[in-house]
Structure 1
């Protein structure tokens, strides 16, 4: 993740519990901030609506609208995010900080109109009235911008500012809901508006951080387009990973536990609530992975690859390789062990806590939670292995693993509709286990022949891919010069 490593190293070097909390907190804000914010909004705004007397049908519709916007915006962003992260990292490596902001403006200029048109088409047939459709559209566009900002905020070392943006978002959202219901009366419109206000505050604050950190060349807004030709595998990796992660949720909405809320809005409350809390368990692995890789693994990785630039002897290269792979093995085992402990703790203690919350947990929801917690745990470790493959630029195996996971999760979930509802979560869990095993095998095979992949598997002459992205960039460049 571009730029996060330096700040984490500085924080982890500092002694004391507070410094450790700052380091892990900073990592969590960058890696999971908008999603956690969405969970907070789902729970808090829905609770305010319940206390204020909003009818259950409207509360269910509110949850569905927020969930649809979250999932749709994440899948849209998944097509672009990995390529843009690579592009921003290349800009920072080349010292072209002044082109970072133009690329943000450029990608938003592509994603938001394209995604907005598709979302408008969906809303036209969604069954919502005009005002709810407008609020729904605003939230979708905000989330699209928020996910994109995360690709850039990793380079901004003002973690306090990022934390404040989340705090202000929650405060403004809750206050809007509270005072709106108090003075105008409780309604789904007020509560949906409050969520949009919260994300709007966060986006504006994060934009202020970005524009205050990076210089702006005001040019090269679309110079990232050729990267989509060069790194097209990253588009497939991001897309299929997110499809595998969310398709089982969408399919459950059409199952025997699913209910039609309104128009095209469906939900499966028993499955969705269990999946939401099971999903939260993987944040431990996600945060720990980013921290451990940036602080412990990356320095060894960078040293090893630098030695191939003509500065290292064969003995030095072999020693650096052994050190790097030893650290990698240690960090992967540590990450997997921590996820295992977290899952075991959640299944024992966490379930007891959830049963005492006013969430209506019954035996079916408990079953969903157990099996999905195992599934998300396996996914988290498998995804770490896939990201390590990408660190070694083994995009081919990373792409294959993502496609297998996305396809298997979707197909098995569809097949599970023929089974008793209590077995629905097994499809995702089985797909996650296959994902973990496949990526582990590919990573082991790749690292066993690491010098070969670095020196012999690369083309002798650099091959530049020329596709739609490059042609579009040339078209834009020609027209901008003649204008």
Structure 2
């Protein structure tokens, strides 16, 4: 991510409203591309369904299928995302770009093998028809590859091409949806096909970009699995953050607000729609993390560690540390203020603005929206602080914060189902509050004794034990090698 912020700094140095809007647009697409695409496609599908007068029951089933597929792909990739990103950063730092593309295919293969089996089992018993299940599985595999590709695309810095792929996906999905319904394709299958086609366009475009920038090679595609073992706290942090972010939705589906759509598909429209709209309000912090925190903080961060690595004078190191932490505090303060102003503005205007949209908001939904806006705002700032902990390699502190967030939001959301319906959403709000508090306290304690953590906690002897993921990768390598040798022998014969 540091590479994104460093490159975006060039864009923000250009003057003019258009240049500023383009830089913010690039930052938003890079950081939230697949998620934004999912939200846009959800609203687009509902809009097209309304135009073609698709029955409400089929609209609900379609939304459930897309939502379930989106969340399943997010949970699966969240475990591997951070270790893969760390592997990618290390390979670029060591100028070993030939290992990058093989690791992309290897990580995709592993996640698709695991995810296809698990999600396929769910779809078999979900109540979906064979065609619906196959379309959901196709969409799931595309989402997995797209989520994984975003980690690799951060190294390309070809923002214009990435933005074009995003726009092409939206247009392709919209045109396919209209064509499918015009041709008389059943609504659920036709719109699922449209969403899958949109993600497929984005996937194809992104893969072409990766092949254009990274060389093909015969390097070990399973080498990244050693990084999963070495940085297991990163993997667990990513998983815990995702669970904490979405568990309250799943629990609400199973509670009094839940609506049984079909088979294993449940939803809670009165809660889901406010949650989806409230989630959009944190994009300002997501973008600001790259635009403000990284662009301004990263140069000071790099200067400090360069002095440590290159034998700088003690006086210069102390001065650099003070400047770095001063910039960090300032940028985190501004980030929190921006999110506060956006949340306050949204809450102030939401009743009049949402009343103009055909979403059927009632007083209870307005209450959920306000509560979740505050909860997501606290989460967004807490997540930014946690990312800074990862910058300083405080993996333990980040994991404690994320795990607490996951456990609390899940437990409080479950307890909340026993309370009056007007209090739903407060479990997520309280869990996010504790998440932010823990992350801030941990960052203050860690940076208060930063030289010790940077220098004194390092091991005396570098050694790496082969963990279960590395052993599995070695087995996969032997298996791949055996198949390759057999194929070559067969061709010679």
- Give the TM bin, normalised by the shorter chain: over 0.9
CA distance in 2, matches of 1:265, 1:341: 37
Q: Is 2:52 the partner of 1:52?
A: yes
1:13-57, CA deviations, whole angstroms, 9 ceiling, x for partnerless residues? 222222222221111111111111111111111211122121110
Asked if the contact 1:41/1:170 (under 8 Å) is kept, the reply is: yes
Deviation at 1:359, TM superposition (A): 0.2
CA distance in 1, matches of 2:466, 2:244: 29
CA distance in 2, matches of 1:87, 1:414: 37
Deviation at 1:126, TM superposition (A): 0.1
CA distance in 1, matches of 2:49, 2:120: 27
CA distance in 2, matches of 1:113, 1:224: 16
Alignment of 1:74-473 (within 5 A): 74-184=74-184, 187-473=187-473
Structure 1 gaps of 5+ residues are: none
Relative to structure 1, the CA distance from residue 481 to residue 55 in structure 2 (aligned partners, 3 Å threshold; closer, same or farther) is closer
CA distance in 2, matches of 1:140, 1:223: 25
Helix, strand or coil for the counterpart of 2:312?
coil
- Between 1:19-28 and 1:195-204, the stretch displaced more is 19-28
Deviation at 1:310, TM superposition (A): 4.0
CA distance in 1, matches of 2:75, 2:186: 32
- Between 1:187-196 and 1:439-448, the stretch displaced more is 187-196
Deviation at 1:5, TM superposition (A): 3.0
Deviation at 1:98, TM superposition (A): 1.8
1:57-96, CA deviations, whole angstroms, 9 ceiling, x for partnerless residues? 0000000001101111101010000000100011111111
1:265-301, CA deviations, whole angstroms, 9 ceiling, x for partnerless residues? 0000000000000000011001101122331111100
1:143-168, CA deviations, whole angstroms, 9 ceiling, x for partnerless residues? 11110011011111211111111111
Residue equivalent to 2:488: none
Asked if the contact 1:169/1:202 (under 8 Å) is kept, the reply is: yes
Q: Is 2:24 the partner of 1:24?
A: yes
Relative to structure 1, the CA distance from residue 217 to residue 357 in structure 2 (aligned partners, 3 Å threshold; closer, same or farther) is same
Residue equivalent to 1:9: 9
CA distance in 2, matches of 1:51, 1:337: 40
Deviation at 1:456, TM superposition (A): 1.0
TM-score by length of 2: 0.96
Alignment: residue pair count: 483
Relative to structure 1, the CA distance from residue 266 to residue 317 in structure 2 (aligned partners, 3 Å threshold; closer, same or farther) is same
Deviation at 1:481, TM superposition (A): 5.0
Deviation at 1:99, TM superposition (A): 1.4
TM-score by length of 1: 0.98
CA distance in 1, matches of 2:244, 2:352: 29
Helix, strand or coil for the counterpart of 1:306?
helix
CA distance in 2, matches of 1:408, 1:113: 31
Helix, strand or coil for the counterpart of 1:466?
coil
Asked if the contact 2:2/2:298 (under 8 Å) is kept, the reply is: no
Residue equivalent to 1:36: 36
Asked if the contact 1:2/1:85 (under 8 Å) is kept, the reply is: no
Asked if the contact 1:52/1:186 (under 8 Å) is kept, the reply is: no
CA distance in 1, matches of 2:383, 2:66: 26
